[in-house]
Structure 1
Amino acid sequence: MAQLFESRTYVNSKGDTLFYHLLKPLNFDSAKKYPLVVSLPYGGQPATDKIRQMEGAVAAEALSTDINRANYPAFIFIPNCPPGSGWGGIPNYPSVDSLVYEAISSLDKEPGIDVKRRYVTGLSRGGYGAWHFICTRPDMFAAAIPVSGGEDPKLASRIVNVPVWAFHGANDKNVPVSGSRDMINAIKKAGGNPRYTEYPNEGHNIWNQVSMTPGLWDWLFAQKRN
């Protein structure tokens, strides 16, 4: 998968640096507009190994197959998480969320990216990040697929208009299922209409089931911000 992606570095005005990988759409046409999928890697991979960390970007792995690149032409963005950091959403843990937002915005000047169709997804640490990204920047993302994650339900009112399809295993010992349940209930209470799939007999590693969900990618790529 890594051979398909271009390795890049974003440096902001303060000198803060973010390494990331970017895959352009199959048969890219600069005259056309394509969605951008932000795939946040889960934890557990060596933070200093920029290639190994791509293994945790499960949606990127799925969407970079030949058949999905043909069916869902899109830019795929995989940020590298520095040592001791996360994507946000985990209490009392450092986050590089703002730097990732800056790097995503820096791509707007390049041809081909539809800023009204930016999506974010992730599993575990990436699931927390997906929730956090839409709660802190609902203006940036058109939809999210948070898997085995969570966020502060007090932020749910910010994302009533952001399409969400969340997934969790009821027997998750790493990230309590309450992380997703509480967010979904809070969004509904605030007037939103999120989708939620819970697997009653599964634990933390549910990505295979998620990726085979009928209509998942069709749903995601149909979303567009007004």
Structure 2
Amino acid sequence: MKMLLPPNWDKPGKGNDKLCAKFGKKVYYKTGFSLNYRYYEPPAGNGKLMPLVLYLHGADAAGDDNELQLSMHDIGTFLVRDDLAGRYPCYILAPQYGEMKHWAMPEIKDLLWDLVDDTIKDHPDIDVNRVYIYGYSAGGVGTLRLIKERPGFFASALSICGATGSWNIENLLKTPLYMVHAADDTIVKATYRTKETGLPGNYGSADIYDRFGGEHKDMIYDEYPPGFMKEHFGVNPHCSWVAVSDLRNLKIWEWLFSQKLKDSDRWLGIRQH
């Protein structure tokens, strides 16, 4: 059953189909389960190490076509835009989960980790100190979940209109994190604080920043004021990924790709399998 989309939902721009065509299409199999994914390999870097980016789609792109995770919005193909002229050369993994599933489901999550680990193992030109993750909506939720589960694994993370539960919430301090949200988002709220307790049951982007922003020097939060997404982009307030994929907002991507781990000793065993 396809998701019923709210009014003023974001649609891909002209030429997105050509950007999607830059990605290969595969299915990853392991332990009796499978995961559709698209992948992008950058032009040869003349011996230079390249970053790896894991991109997680939202619930509106769930399915089994291995297409929607890129074709639903421009945010999935942003890094391969022609007008960026190779500004962010990198490998990209863009998996897709099926309908009625989500990134935190054990069989999906385990396949994700195995896919990332195997990709690194199979590509010696991937810079293990520059592995990044980003996602929107349910993909923002998945991004926060994964950096809590493997703290320090990613060099940095970008969560767009995401949220998370209280489980291992302190682990968010261990990964440089950029969050984006619209204040009037009613689908995934920026804050879940209640008047009764003053505390959130779940943590929206604003709640995370309110709790940890003061002690996490590598945590950044951009909140768009009420009406901003409609006024500037003509879209539903939940679609804050549209602002992130605007060429006038490259500061977010510059920050993401500027982060680098200082110690890759944890990777030494992966490529020896």
Q: Scaled by the length of structure 2, what TM-score is found?
A: 0.74
Structure 1 Cα separation of the partners of residues 51 and 108 of structure 2: 23
SS in 1 for 2:189: coil
Structure 1 Cα separation of the partners of residues 184 and 110 of structure 2: 32
Identify the residue that residue 216 of structure 1 maps to in structure 2.
252
SS in 1 for 2:59: coil
Unaligned runs of 5+ in 2: 1-18, 192-203, 229-236, 263-273
SS in 1 for 2:113: helix
Going from structure 1 to structure 2, the CA distance change for 1:64 and 1:183 (only over 3 Å counts) comes to same
Identify the residue that residue 23 of structure 1 maps to in structure 2.
40
- Greater CA deviation, 68-77 or 44-53? 44-53
CA drift of 1:219 comes to 0.8
Tell me the number of residue pairs that the alignment of Structure 1 and Structure 2 aligns: 219
Q: What are the superposed Cα offsets for residues 107-134 of structure 1, whole Å, 9 maximum, x if unpaired?
A: 1122321121111111111111111111
Q: What RMSD, in angstroms, separates the aligned Cα atoms of the two structures?
A: 2.0
Structure 2 Cα separation of the partners of residues 52 and 155 of structure 1: 31
Q: Is the contact made by 1:48 and 1:82 (CA closer than 8 Å) also made in structure 2? A: yes
Is 1:7 aligned to residue 25 of structure 2? yes
Identify the residue that residue 211 of structure 2 maps to in structure 1.
186
Give, as a single letter, the amino acid of the residue that structure 2 aligns with 1:8.
Answer: K
Structure 1 Cα separation of the partners of residues 140 and 62 of structure 2: 19
Identify the residue that residue 269 of structure 2 maps to in structure 1.
none
Identify the residue that residue 206 of structure 1 maps to in structure 2.
240
SS in 2 for 1:105: helix
Structure 2 Cα separation of the partners of residues 105 and 69 of structure 1: 28
CA drift of 1:205 comes to 0.9
Structure 2 Cα separation of the partners of residues 132 and 46 of structure 1: 18
Identify the residue that residue 64 of structure 1 maps to in structure 2.
80
Larger radius of gyration: 2
Q: Is the contact made by 2:33 and 2:107 (CA closer than 8 Å) also made in structure 1? A: no
Identify the residue that residue 85 of structure 1 maps to in structure 2.
101
Q: What are the superposed Cα offsets for residues 183-209 of structure 1, whole Å, 9 maximum, x if unpaired?
A: 2223336x3131000011242111222
Q: What are the superposed Cα offsets for residues 68-103 of structure 1, whole Å, 9 maximum, x if unpaired?
A: 351111111100112321113xxxx77612210110
Going from structure 1 to structure 2, the CA distance change for 1:103 and 1:33 (only over 3 Å counts) comes to same
Give, as a single letter, the amino acid of the residue that structure 2 aligns with 1:72.
Answer: Y
Q: Scaled by the length of structure 1, what TM-score is found?
A: 0.88
Structure 1 Cα separation of the partners of residues 85 and 108 of structure 2: 28
SS in 1 for 2:174: coil
Q: What are the superposed Cα offsets for residues 155-206 of structure 1, whole Å, 9 maximum, x if unpaired?
A: 33212131111000110011111111122223336x3131000011242111
